[in-house]
Structure 1
């Protein structure tokens, strides 16, 4: 019966294609899909979508409040990011109502920003905390799967079915002097590069309808290339700040040789292992991790948090980096 139901939704070719992608994706057998997609037939309704987001957000929020012993009423800034699910009342309003946050809380809903939204939200929180002194900022990140599973046959849109899974993160940032010694981490730098001014970047992950009117996210083959270009720009900006002098000199010498003296040589990739002890590369898929590992000359040990997150939880979009950071803490 299950096979018959699936065949009524997908063609045999589409099922085979998704099976192949799953086998090569790096995902394990314990990732989570929402309840609506486990029913026969699937029931991607608004009610189930709300149930999914409340399940992941409320659990993440409860864990955070318990671990930090912070009262919800003391949170002054709330930032929620969910790229494709933006209901009314807003997700911020649901959190405020559930946990009775104060009426003057600064709340922001970020949408349409994909897997990078979690760090974009942290960057926004950082800038807000520079203005609002002695404040707490809460960042909640997720991506809703229930209403965004694709039930057509266009291959570029089927890929997302195979990679994305349920997940969420809750991060609390503070600029209160009393929290300095109890905080786990100190935020030093944030760097962001936007590639929407380039058509390849603009189209690399695009929500659209197929020829039969079925909505999904089309992932372009240019996605790894665009991501690599953005990463290169980010690392160049960050390198000026964090790299040791020797690495900077080697990079500058290589740049001058290639661009001024027109010498035939490969561009020099600085060794960021000399600046960082840990790397959390977004668990977007095995191919992306392979490309980044090769480009940055990272060891298997340094990629372990990313690969284990992908295997255990799948691509949880904007929250995945926090899964990786949690793995790094437990591992080391």
Structure 2
């Protein structure tokens, strides 16, 4: 059990982020790939990805062995908006930080796998590990990333609504069955044998959702444990997961019809990313470009647009959902 102790300043500084980025979710997905749990949500994806793994999968197995803990490459790569930024951070990670992670890994598994042994001192080994992770991302995560990111953005919006309606107590009490809020302490059951206490020292706490992690986790720097992050599973239904896997397989055909960015905009709107600003952040394009694309989609009868207070909200039409091969109901988290 991990216990995170809050002061009044910490409560006032709770923040919610949708994701740590595509590198983190790619690495988290290795846990889901190894397991057999929640087959209804991940079974089709597992079978497809496992069938395409090549000999380099030994590196992936070294990063995430069958028995926890994994090599914490997520911590070393850091949060980011894209794989390139995470790769740069990982390549520049101080030798002491990499050695500390490998020492912890060796302490739990008796040894460091050969595929990871040179990470401390050899840049070529770091590049080889990154190359393997990148190839895995392109095969397993990339085709579905737009839907995954849209789902995580919608999850953040839902948590924001809970915060507005029920306050911090409501937010922290409803994150996950294995996360328990008994003020002033947040208890996080990470499903491992480690027991730890964290004092935030007025820094507050960052809450981050994950699509692939289905149990909560606490990520922190052992040299500075006050600066920790709680990663919690995003709410995910079987139908929505199936829609993400199906949408990923038809992305290229839709892109050929509408253009890649416009297809991504329509898909994100169907996945619940409704405002111009959220679409711009999710797809990493300007708000002006989003406005141009939504104008075309609206004129084609694929979306509707309305203003709510200071926000412009977009929703898919029946025609838009049919084009995406989605059910004619707006998806919810």
Q: Tell me whether the two structures share a fold, i.e. TM-score over 0.5.
A: no
Q: Which TM bucket (shorter chain)?
A: under 0.3
TM-score of the aligned structures, taking structure 2 as reference length: 0.25
